[in-house]
Amino acid sequence: MLKLIDFEIKNVLENINLTFEEGKTYVIMGSNGVGKSTLLHGIMGRPDLEIGGSIEYNGSEINDLTTDERAKLGIFVGFQSPTSIPGLSNFQFIKQSKKLKAVDIKSSLDKFKELSVSLGLPTDWDKRNLNTDASGGEKKKNELIQMLMLNTKFAMLDEPDSGLDVDGIKSLITQLNNWKNNNNTLVVVTHYEKLIQGLNPDSVVLLKKDNVTVGDKSLADKIFSSGFEDV
């Protein structure tokens, strides 16, 4: 469980109180520039953000933990625009993140390749440089592989549907639904109606600068029909 108590990010969000319960799926919606991406980054511990209030994860405050320390707890964030890192291969990123021992490398590489094939990525994807010369959809698929291979228990994905074609969206929904069924918590920023329908979230969060509205999937339906301001 992750709780935000009187959470704020200077010049972006004010007095946000939210609880993300274990094993549930949440969709975050809101107008452009309201702070949806910044909210995820603040939870993850982006160092240039000035945070107020409290972030509690499984009963312990994590405000003072660095980004990598939060990641080791099982918290993961997928970016709206994943960064390219030339010189670091896609699998090397996994290998270093997990600090794999020699005995575990082959099985992890096999799993990486299996996931790559299932997502329609090139057969040499493990050897490609991280997000370099990759399409937007390939970058999103790469983050999904990272989420699935790391010890992720609480995943925050920022517009994971961006750049994906119809088959990619179907595969994304299948992978996320399979993953969340293991009592994991999924938080997705999206305004894509088909993705919301496919994930069938437990809660929809409408984010505004100084407050949140939380409802069931019908809240998303109201937003699609009436817009943000009239909800």
Instruction: Give per-residue pLDDT as tens, 2-15.
Output: 999 999 999 999 99
pLDDT recorded at residue 209: 81
pLDDT band for position 106 (cuts 50, 70, 90)? very high
**Amino acid in position 75:** I
Indicate if the pLDDT at residue 21 is higher than 90. yes
106 burial class (0-12, 13-18, 19+ CB within 10 angstroms)? exposed
Which pLDDT band, with edges at 50, 70 and 90, does 73 fall under? very high
In this prediction the pTM is: 0.94
The proportion of the chain whose per-residue pLDDT surpasses 70, expressed as a percent, equals 100
Domains of the chain as residue ranges with CATH? 2-85+152-226 (3.40.50.300)
Q: What is the pLDDT of residues 152-198, one digit of tens each?
A: 999 999 999 988 889 989 999 999 999 998 899 999 999 999 999 99
Which pLDDT band, with edges at 50, 70 and 90, does 27 fall under?
very high
